[in-house]
Chains A and B, each alone.
Chain A
Amino acid sequence: MNIAFYLLSALAVTGALLAIRLRNLVHATLCLMFFFISLAGMYVLLMAEFIAAVQILVYVGAVGILILFAIMLTHHITGATRERISSRGWLWGLGAALAVLFTVLLPVLLLSVLPAAPATPDFSPSVRNIGLSLMDPYTITLQVMGLLLTAALIGAVAVASTSVRPQDKPRT
């Protein structure tokens, strides 16, 4: 259990770091996929098998592929540009991220009292239970989610399909 956790967390942290730092966008996205998959493994360690499956299905199968498509549509295919990849105020960004980590997140985590072991060692929710809770306390949320996804679908198509560029517009 411990070994699996450390392996997966090493993979997740490396994947995430490479995903944000690699120059080549396609490589960055592939590293992101490894990050997603290692998080799915983490969910399996936490006995949330269904969430692991959904994580792979949605993140690797859909979001990752979507990002790859977006890269193909907006970027040179090789992705090897020699330009500066960091923004102008990158030092401020680095400082802010480290500050958040070391002054807010880690102190709070290290100082608070947390349970060391799960209350029920072998509890794994069945898909049936997840489905039933979606139908009983979370009905409205589920409906809203459906609405959100539909709106996102239509919105994405509408935003991306406008092919009018500023120079094509007739000037009045």
Chain B
Amino acid sequence: MVTLQQYLILSAVLFSIGLLGALTRRHAIIVLVSIEIMLNAANLNFIAFWRFAPHPGNLHGVLFTLFSIAVAAAEAAVGLALVIAVYRFNKSPDLEKMNSLHE
């Protein structure tokens, strides 16, 4: 039987991988991807806690995950639109070149 701890460790590892990606990559899209990985790790936490809770009948974890997925979808849509818009200005998806606010 898999324990709650194992799920949480997996989720922690996934979160750190996401963090690693967000902190070390230059490409804007990959940074967004890393943020998605972190969000997913958090979702796994919610579901695991809900499953191992004394009263799984009240579904808070499931619903929170549902909302979090919706937020992630919205975030991805807006984030990618921003990446495309910035790319039009800079001609590069490189975050290190997006360092000036004026034209």
With a CB–CB cut-off of 8 A, which chain A residues contact B67?
Answer: 141, 145
Residues of A within 8 A of B (CB): 1-2, 5, 9, 12-13, 16-17, 19-21, 25, 28-29, 32, 35-36, 39, 42-43, 45-48, 50-51, 54-55, 58-59, 62-63, 66-67, 69-71, 73-75, 84-90, 92-94, 96-98, 100-101, 105-106, 109-110, 114-120, 123, 125, 129-130, 133-134, 138, 141, 145, 148-149, 151-153, 155-157, 159-160, 162-163, 165-166
Size class of the B contact interface (CB-based, 8 Å) = 35 or more
Cα distance A36–B71 when bound, in Å? 16
Q: Quick one: given A29-B33, A96-B23, A116-B3, are A105 and B16 in contact (CB under 8 Å)?
A: yes
- Bound complex: CA A13 to CA B15 (Å): 10
A-facing residues in B1-36 (Cβ within 8 Å): 1-10, 12-27, 29-30, 32-34, 36
Interface of B is mostly: helix
Given A16-B37, A159-B85: A48 and B51 within 8 A (CB)?
yes
Q: Is the CB of A67 within 8 A of B76?
A: yes
A118/B52 contact (C-beta < 8 A), A74-B87, A149-B74 known: yes
Could you tell me if A145 and B88 are in contact, using CB atoms closer than 8 angstroms? no
CB pair A74–B24 under 8 Å, yes or no, is no
Q: Which residues of A contact B57 (CB under 8 A)?
A: 123, 125, 129
